[in-house]
Amino acid sequence: MEFIEKASINDVFKEFIRNGNYENVIFRIMNDSKIMFPGTYIHNDKQSNGECDFYDRETYEKYDAKLPFTSEQGRLIGSRNGNLSKFLETMAEEGDEFYNIVIDGKHDKDIHNLLLYKVMNEKILKDKEDENLIFLFPYPIISDYGSDSMMQFVGNILTYIFETLRKDNDLKTRKIFVIYPCYNGEVGIICSSTDYTEYLVDNYLEPYFYYTVE
């Protein structure tokens, strides 16, 4: 049986990315989360000197929002002559890279060659060591059908990338989070320190984009 993925991208998608509106979405998700983000969080309005994007009201633990894009992917979204269709193709290719090495059975050897690993690792190395990172994917990087599926119990591209990031970097107490859309409209949250996926049911991303499978 063949499944076809369909994407719906609204006109405001570029503004969602370019103007930092994605930070507002992450902020909502953090405060609605009960498992991955159990605290109460503040959006930091003072960032002129590279301060973090969010912090925990009680513990002052710091969080920084990231988009997992290369400079070329950013150009495809942000420039006047950008191409959203091409952007989506490049995001899909990142997932295909992983499934190709799964078929070859070379997880440990080839994870370092994945474009997505390189992008995430570079952003981790550039960020401050006392800040947790939150990556927002505007694309279902995992073929996840939400809380009714069994995806939270299955190894995937992020499982292996997290494992390799932990081996390659002294993360200490730092956590790396990934937020991504599911095919059923839910939002999935994965953290580098746990194998569990938290799902939230709300219209966080649909004003900008959503994905279905037929």
User: Would you say residue 25 has pLDDT above 80?
Assistant: yes
30 vs 159, more confident: 30
DSSP-derived secondary structure for 23-66: HHHHHHHHHH-SSSS-S-EEE----TTS--SEEETTT--EEEEE
pTM for this model (two decimals): 0.86
Q: What is the pLDDT of residue 184?
A: 85
User: Would you say residue 108 has pLDDT above 60?
Assistant: no
The model's confidence at residue 47, banded by pLDDT at 50, 70 and 90, is confident
The one-letter amino acid code at 193 reads S
Residue 68, phi then psi, degrees to nearest 5 = -85, 60
Q: What is the pLDDT of residue 61?
A: 96
